Amino acid sequence: MQAIRNILVVMEPERPEGLALKRAKLIAGVTQSHLHLLVCSKKHEHSAYLSDLCATLDKEGYSTSSQQAWHENLHQTIITVQQAEGCGLVIKQHFPDNPLKKALLTPDDWKLLRYCPAPVLMVKTDKPWTGGTILAAVDVGNADGEHRTLHNSIINHGYDIAALAKADLHVISAHPAPMLSAADPTFQLKETIEARYRNECKAFQAEYDIAEERLHVAEGPADVLIPQVAHQLNAAVTVIGTVARTGLSGALIGNTAEVILDALDCDVLVLKPDDIIAHLEELVSQH
């Protein structure tokens, strides 16, 4: 995150609370990143709003630029500008459709998380980050190259956010329940699964310097456990990664991630492996 030089902040002139900008200022204050403010609209002229905002931010010592744009739909507008401006992070506030759907992401938010080549920070609450808890969700049992790179990115981003918000980093890893049908006998016995998983966790803890009390390992489905632990810890941000398991042209985020993201009552940073990012950049350039 320290390497991010340019942050794209999606602004909503009709919504005064501006939580996306608040988070962007916190990050830019530490990383000295440039803030590019974007209003996605073709209906009204928002240049006065944007220039006033930039003038205020410039006075506060931030480096800023702004634009109003529209390409087909909201997520494509954001991604097109992200690519054109070379932004290493996109920050967008999630606005619930109605009180009943408060946590549920809108289709536009989903598409942005699926197709954006850069990490996306979806701001879901006004909970302050400073002095809080940051939760990084990893799958320690998966140690293939793709997962290892992703874990590295998740933990590093977690540490970066914790450092800039003077917060504590906790790590959650959910592991599968024993399966009687498993071909490998080590997957059939609860004790062996637990022991094997604990060993993998020990290596993981040593590699990333994670204290015992900050590692939460539990058996069960990730989509239940991650929101549960985030809630228990009153996490301000949860960092999750997504790995494509179905053809890259399909949805890049599996159902698990969708359920997790909707169930979390905190901000969420979504990261992807490099090969998916490269593929998405290719798709954007073809448009």
**Cβ neighbours of 184 (radius 10 Å):** 8
- Please tell me the predicted confidence (pLDDT) of residue 73: 92
How many CB atoms neighbour CB 103 within 10 A? 15
Residues in a beta bridge with 117:
none
Q: What percentage of the chain exceeds 70 in pLDDT? A: 85
pLDDT number for residue 254: 57
Ramachandran area for residue 23 (φ above 0: left; ψ -120 to 50: alpha; else beta):
alpha
| Range 111-136 average pLDDT | 92
State the pLDDT at residue 250.
Answer: 40
Spatial contact of 119 and 269, defined as CB atoms under 8 Å apart? yes
CB 175, CB 201: distance < 8 Å: no
What would the mean pLDDT of 29-56 be, rounded to a whole number? 93
Considering 53-62, 191-200, 275-284, the range whose residues carry the highest mean pLDDT is 53-62
Residue that wins the pLDDT comparison between 247 and 131: 131
Task: Judge residue 265's burial from the number of C-beta atoms within 10 Å of its C-beta, 0-12 exposed, 13-18 middle, 19 or more buried.
Answer: middle
| Listed range (47-51, 102-106, 248-252, 259-263) with the worst mean pLDDT | 248-252
Task: Go through the domains of the chain in sequence order and give each one's CATH number.
Answer: 6-93 (3.40.50.620), 133-286 (3.40.50.12370)
Cα separation of 278 and 285, whole Å? 11
- Per-residue pLDDT at 246: 44
For residue 196, pLDDT beyond 80: no
pLDDT at residue 252 tops 70: no
Q: Which residue has the higher pLDDT, 88 or 272?
A: 88
Residue range 151-158: mean pLDDT, rounded: 91
Confidence bin at 106 (pLDDT 50/70/90): confident
What is the residue-averaged pLDDT of the chain? 84
Q: Residue 99 pLDDT more than 70? A: no
d(CA 142, CA 148): 8
Q: Which of 146-150, 210-214, 226-230, 241-245 has the lowest mean pLDDT?
A: 241-245
Provide the phi-psi class of 209: left if phi over 0, else alpha when psi is between -120 and 50, else beta: left
Distance separating alpha carbons of residues 75 and 139, to the nearest angstrom: 28
Residue 30: burial class (beta carbons within 10 Å; 0-12, 13-18, 19+): middle
Task: Report how far apart, in Å, the C-alpha atoms of 280 and of each of 70, 77, 213, 285 are.
Answer: 20, 15, 38, 9
Q: What's the rounded Cα separation, in Å, for the pair 218 and 12?
A: 39
**SS3 state of residue 105:** coil
Sheet strand arrangement including 267-271: 64-69, 34-40, 6-11, 89-93, 120-123, 267-271, 237-241, 133-138, 168-175, 215-219
